[in-house]
Chain A
């Protein structure tokens, strides 16, 4: 049973460029959330997707956008990259069913983005 998979694992981009990060949730999970973790900080919530729609959004500018596909996989897009966007981008998958025992949020290993 594959866990949460993310790609690419590492990438370097130039200021002003655009980047797309990808995530496949754990088998059986239908909800994907994205987090940004800057060096020395805790992860910060970017947004969450369920049923192919953005359901919640954190305090991130519109340069950050996403998508969820019918197979529950998701993409995170960042436009007009800034140096400050350099961070570890984490994908978290979960099952949107309340009251179920054993449901846990699982994180992928992340995508390390460096903007130069």
Chain B
């Protein structure tokens, strides 16, 4: 059973860069897609972007100019960097495995989520 765990600062100042890491355990990071999804407080889920283990990325166009997702297969980790953050980026950030191309492109395993607040 694969396990995902997000880590990073819970508080980021406006205009700075939000950086999070997802550590994958219980399975290999290779041969899968890996995704970041966020959820503003009290609101719904928002797909941020994903990458394949080879490093190929796919980003939400509304975030693309500020976003970078990368992977380190040697440490079984992938990361999110979102620059020039504002209060609108305050959310719980989830990392997830997927989309799984053989199962309807679902996100089948999720981290517990990490709340990131953008505030001075």
Binding between chains A and B: no
